[in-house]
Structure 1
Amino acid sequence: ASYAARAYGIRSAMPMAHALRLCPDLIVLPHHFDEYARRSAAVMAILHEMTPAVEQISIDEAFLDVTGCERLWGPPLEIGRLIQRRVQEEVSLPVSLGIATSKLVAKIACDVGKPQGLVFVPPGTEADFLAPLPIERLWGVGKVTGARLRRLGIQTIGDLARWDVGDLERLLGRVGRALHAAALGQDTSPVAGHRERHSIGQERTFAQDLGDPEALGRTLLAMSEDLAARLRDRHMVAQEVRIKMRYPDFRTITRQVKLPQPTDQAQVIHTHAAALFQKHWRPGERLRLLGLAVGGLLEGGGYQLDLFADADQRRIRLSRALDEIRRRFGPEAITRASLAGRRGHRED
């Protein structure tokens, strides 16, 4: 959602019908997920040129540790300005940055500076920077915890920092001590850098709560096809399949199954996903969101055709041929008849 839309209370993953009720004049634009992924990769490439310590946490967010990079690029504030300039010139995207001595404070500084801001919190001023901000700015403070803290008279992060840590721990348990440390700007978590990917997934948030079994089945099939193609593109195979179902009241359940053997084939993924769905979904139930993920990923370089029966070999060869057609002519160049024009949207 754009910043203008957020002013009406519209947020990411909100059903379209709800968003249109909040803002009847809302302008809805088509999505281009391949383009989003391309630009994300371009931005991340720039970040990796600045420092090897890059921890990507979403398609458009990352932490950087620039310790030791000053001799190459200058002080942190200059590095921030250089990143903004390069991303704007090379990828045509605005960037917001927060610079601080910890991930926690840097993330909050980045959020405060949006859109297209650059906020620098000098060492030793973390608590002063955080103090006037509303308590909900802290990681781990959602609606429920925020409401509970406000009932205690804690309106700002500074209010929380002034509380006795023992009292907070008695009231909130162990999270009370963690929140108190966060309110003081204390965070020692390192920038993780490269992390091995253990799963890939996709979710579909429906414009209206959906209870049609055929439509839900098509969604599972489309996601199975897309995840299988992504596995093959990364030369990986999966050992697990996991589904996620979210209901209109936001109750969410996840169920998973171990595969009899690793796979990168849509038919295998869909067979097990559909079995999980049929087992745990009751006819007539409406869903707000349906998700599918594959986990237990292994490098697929040793995934040899001669280990499988002739029919499996033919399916594997066919899948690879279809992948090549889609790479050359686009994802809609060839698809199942039941999915024509119905591809779901993609999220990691």
Structure 2
Amino acid sequence: MAKIAAERGKPRGFAVIGAAGAASLLAPEPVTLLPGVGPAMARRLAAAGLTRLGQLAALSPQEAARRFGEEGMALAARARGEDARPVVPERETRSMSAETTFDADLSAVEALERPLWRMCERLSRRLAEKGFSAGGAVLKLKTAGFALRTRHARLPAPTVLPDTLFAAARPLLLREADGTAFRLIGIGAQPLVPLALANRGDLADPEAPRRAARWKAMEALRARFGEAAVVRGLGLRAGP
């Protein structure tokens, strides 16, 4: 329910879904709204005449189990807004990302590059804070029609530098920016690599340690004097 509420509140609002009103709010929605209902399960439900969450919620536990197994009981309960599973916040971190939703859809490469650069800087900061670096870069785009696109690029060496992340993500962006309007852009790090292995420099990029030292100095200035103390690269461009 929290995930559904978060999606409804984007980009700047929020949504509150109370326990008493959850079932009625969910009832007219398609079954694909429910986390855990992928294409295969959606086809199984549709074959049984169940395309709306209200129809799924109306099944008794016995009927849901008979038609869809133990998984059916859980799905029918969640369609009513019921979920007894405990929240387990501790899990192994496999990826890390930063993303932003635009106030207005963007389609031009130049308009998309600036927020991508800001997300690269944000991701670099998060990686360093958590003791990780990026072994690969993942570009995330969501179209105005809510279709999600993810594109991957393997990095030649682990990095935590925003310029290296941007250099890997920009060619991916250029291939996707074909006039399509996008409402969200993000950059992810996957796989995650220990921070100690990042930016060591090699024949392909001997300047990496020096750039890493400059970036750390810039971050120290920002921590002391604020984000505007040092602005570089695409952060200087006007636009969104």
The TM-score, its normalising length taken from structure 2, stands at: 0.71
Corresponding residue SS for 1:179: helix
User: Counterpart in 1 of 2:162?
Assistant: 266
Corresponding residue SS for 1:204: strand
Following the alignment from structure 1 to structure 2, what is the Cα–Cα distance between the partners of residues 312 and 152?
A: 52
Once the two structures are overlaid, the 10-residue window that deviates more, 301-310 or 229-238, is 301-310
Amino acid at match of 1:211: S
TM alignment of 1:322-341, pairs within 5 A: 322-336=218-232, 338-340=234-236
Alignment pair present for 1:237 and 2:133: yes
Amino acid at match of 1:293: G
TM alignment of 1:129-140, pairs within 5 A: 134=23
Alignment pair present for 1:249 and 2:181: no
Following the alignment from structure 2 to structure 1, what is the Cα–Cα distance between the partners of residues 141 and 81?
A: 38
**In the alignment, is the contact (CA less than 8 A) between 1:222 and 1:343 conserved in 2?**
no
Following the alignment from structure 1 to structure 2, what is the Cα–Cα distance between the partners of residues 330 and 211?
A: 31
User: Counterpart in 1 of 2:183?
Assistant: 288
Q: Identical aligned pairs, as a percentage?
A: 26
Alignment pair present for 1:298 and 2:207: no
**In the alignment, is the contact (CA less than 8 A) between 2:28 and 2:53 conserved in 1?**
no
Q: Which has the larger radius of gyration?
A: 1
Corresponding residue SS for 1:214: helix
**In the alignment, is the contact (CA less than 8 A) between 1:235 and 1:300 conserved in 2?**
yes
Q: Deviations over 1:60-85 (max 9, x none)?
A: xxxxxxxxxxxxxxxxxxxxxxxxxx
**In the alignment, is the contact (CA less than 8 A) between 2:158 and 2:199 conserved in 1?**
no
Corresponding residue SS for 1:259: strand
5+ residue gaps, structure 2, are 34-48
Corresponding residue SS for 1:288: strand
Q: Deviations over 1:285-334 (max 9, x none)?
A: 21121121112112213447465754222211111111111111112211
Following the alignment from structure 1 to structure 2, what is the Cα–Cα distance between the partners of residues 152 and 268?
A: 44
User: Counterpart in 1 of 2:60?
Assistant: 161
Q: Deviations over 1:323-348 (max 9, x none)?
A: 1111111122111164148698xxxx
Amino acid at match of 2:59: L
Corresponding residue SS for 1:160: coil
The count of residues paired between Structure 1 and Structure 2 equals 216
Once the two structures are overlaid, the 10-residue window that deviates more, 265-274 or 190-199, is 190-199
Amino acid at match of 2:60: A
Q: Deviations over 1:14-39 (max 9, x none)?
A: 4x7xx8xxxxxxxxxxxxxxxxxxxx
Corresponding residue SS for 1:143: coil
Following the alignment from structure 2 to structure 1, what is the Cα–Cα distance between the partners of residues 184 and 81?
A: 37
Corresponding residue SS for 1:258: strand
Amino acid at match of 1:262: P
TM alignment of 1:1-348, pairs within 5 A: 11-14=8-11, 112=18, 134=23, 143-145=29-31, 154=55, 157=57, 159-161=58-60, 164-165=63-64, 168-169=67-68, 176-180=72-76, 182=78, 187=84, 189=85, 191-282=87-178, 284-303=179-198, 305=200, 310-336=206-232, 338-340=234-236
Which of structures 1 and 2 has the larger relative contact order (alpha carbons within 8 angstroms, sep 6+)? 2
Distance 1:279 1:142, change over 3 A: farther
Amino acid at match of 2:64: V
Following the alignment from structure 2 to structure 1, what is the Cα–Cα distance between the partners of residues 202 and 53?
A: 64
5+ residue gaps, structure 1, are 1-5, 20-109, 114-129
User: Counterpart in 1 of 2:45?
Assistant: none
